[in-house]
């Protein structure tokens, strides 16, 4: 693992790192915030994973969300991976913002040429946790996950598919039913092919019906979000979760849009949500 930068922040350390991924076959960057508690010798601290949205890298969240202050308050390590492999220059990879570079959708692609590198589900659930566990003092028995938009989709999917791994999940403006909206239909067709049955493995609204997840899910959504009715459709997930007996709270926030201003406003409440569940 290569250290790209480390800076003191809120009594802890905000770092950016890079390693050679065998899962994606590329170098991968990620950020880690270590709170003051991680340096006191009190033992491993819980880890909270953040998944970013379309066009983002690990930097957007690290520099804009203001999460470090709250992570320091609650004693949480926060890990933010990139949103796709980088440096491949596959045909069409950089042509649009919602497919390819910066738009991995946290799936394991099955279609060529994406299947050889676009394996973000396995990268985040299998490979990166090993790297984090080897290099940082974290308690892997206490993991939470949250994200925004495409990353909110990823956080919900990973939690629902791996309920024994994560204790907490929340999301900002998540794409909850990607099989039924343009962003998801485009990405899933490209990465997974035309078989919509395969898409259900990465669709939170489909997964929640049979998931063993039972801890409270928190979702914040701005009512001035221009993507609300066409790409996000949170009511579909809420209805499916309630039918399945999965506790979910959807908070519609008046006047808020899809930006990091929205996320920064409610970041403290989301991290507190995770801290309560990770303390159990």
**What is the tens place of the pLDDT at every residue in 89-142?**
999 999 999 999 999 999 999 999 999 999 999 999 999 999 999 999 999 999
Average pLDDT over residues 229-247: 97
Given this model, what pLDDT does residue 189 score? 98
Residue 269 has pLDDT above 70, yes or no: yes
pLDDT digits (tens, 9 = 90+) for 146-183: 999 999 999 999 999 999 999 999 999 999 999 999 99
**Collapsed DSSP state (helix, strand, coil) of residue 173:** coil
Instruction: State mean pLDDT over 215-230.
Output: 98
pLDDT in tens, 42-76: 679 999 999 999 999 999 999 999 999 999 999 99
Nearest partner of 106 among 60, 159, 152, 154, judged by Cα:
154
**What is the dihedral sign for C-alpha 198, 91, 105, 35?**
positive
The proportion of the chain whose per-residue pLDDT surpasses 90, expressed as a percent, equals 98
CA distance 207 to 195: 16
Q: Which is catalytic among the residues 225, 270, 273, 274?
A: 225
C-alpha pair distances (Å), 151 with each of 20, 147, 232, 253: 22, 4, 12, 19
pTM equals 0.96
For residue 220, list its beta bridge partners.
172, 251
Is residue 149 flagged as an active site residue?
Answer: yes
Euclidean distance between CA atoms 172 and 265, whole angstroms? 11
| Catalytic residue of the set 117, 121, 153, 258 | 258
pLDDT-derived band at 218, boundaries 50, 70, 90: very high
Burial class of residue 70 (count of CB atoms within 10 Å of its CB; 0-12, 13-18, 19+): buried
Confidence of residue 280 (pLDDT cuts 50, 70, 90): low
Alpha carbons 50 and 52: distance in angstroms, whole number: 6
Q: Is the model's pLDDT at 206 over the cut of 80?
A: yes
* Closest C-alpha among 274, 278, 270, 154 to residue 219: 270
Q: What is the mean pLDDT of residues 216-220?
A: 98
Residue 81's DSSP bridge partners are 30
Looking at residue 42, its pLDDT comes to 67
**Number of other CB atoms surrounding residue 191 within 10 Å:** 25
Other Cβ atoms within 10 Å of 159 Cβ, number? 28
- The rounded distance, in Å, linking the Cα atoms of 130 and 26 is 17
pLDDT of res. 41? 66
User: Is 198:151 a contact under the CB 8 Å cutoff?
Assistant: no
State the catalytic residue, choosing from 21, 84, 101, 149. 149
Contacts of 126 (CB under 8 A, 6+ apart): 23
Indicate the pLDDT class of residue 77, thresholds 50, 70 and 90.
Answer: very high
Q: Is 240 helix (H, G, I), strand (E, B) or coil?
A: helix
Could you give all domains of the chain from N- to C-terminal order, each with its CATH number?
2-278 (3.40.50.1820)
How does the average pLDDT of the chain come out, rounded?
Answer: 97
pLDDT at 180: 97
**Is 19 a residue of the active site?**
no
């Amino acid at each position: 693992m290569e250290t790209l930068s480390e800076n003191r922040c809120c009594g802890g350390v905000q770092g950016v790192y890079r390693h050679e991924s065998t899962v994606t076959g590329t170098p991968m960057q990620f950020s880690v915030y270590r709170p003051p508690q991680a340096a006191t010798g009190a033992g491993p601290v819980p880890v909270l994973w953040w998944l970013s949205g379309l066009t983002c890298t690990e930097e957007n969240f690290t520099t804009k969300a203001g999460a470090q202050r709250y992570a320091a308050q609650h004693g949480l390590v926060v890990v933010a991976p990139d949103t796709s492999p980088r440096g491949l220059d596959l045909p069409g990879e950089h042509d649009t913002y919602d497919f390819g570079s910066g738009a991995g959708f946290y799936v394991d692609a099955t279609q060529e040429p994406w299947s050889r590198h676009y394996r973000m589900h396995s990268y985040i659930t299998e490979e990166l946790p090993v790297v984090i566990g080897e290099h940082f003092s974290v308690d892997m028995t206490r993991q939470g996950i949250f994200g925004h938009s495409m990353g909110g989709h990823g956080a919900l999917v990973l939690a629902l598919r791996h309920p024994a791994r994560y204790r907490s999940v929340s999301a900002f403006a998540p794409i909850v039913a990607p099989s039924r909206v343009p962003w998801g239909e485009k990405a899933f067709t490209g990465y997974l092919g035309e078989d919509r049955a395969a898409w259900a493995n990465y669709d939170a609204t489909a997964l929640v019906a049979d998931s063993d997840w039972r801890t409270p899910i928190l979702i914040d959504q701005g009512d001035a979000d221009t993507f609300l009715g066409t790409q996000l459709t949170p009511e579909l997930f809420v209805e499916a979760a309630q039918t399945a007996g999965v506790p979910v709270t959807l908070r519609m926030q008046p006047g808020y849009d899809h930006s990091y201003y929205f996320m920064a406003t409610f970041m403290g409440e989301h991290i507190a949500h995770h801290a309560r569940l990770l303390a159990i």
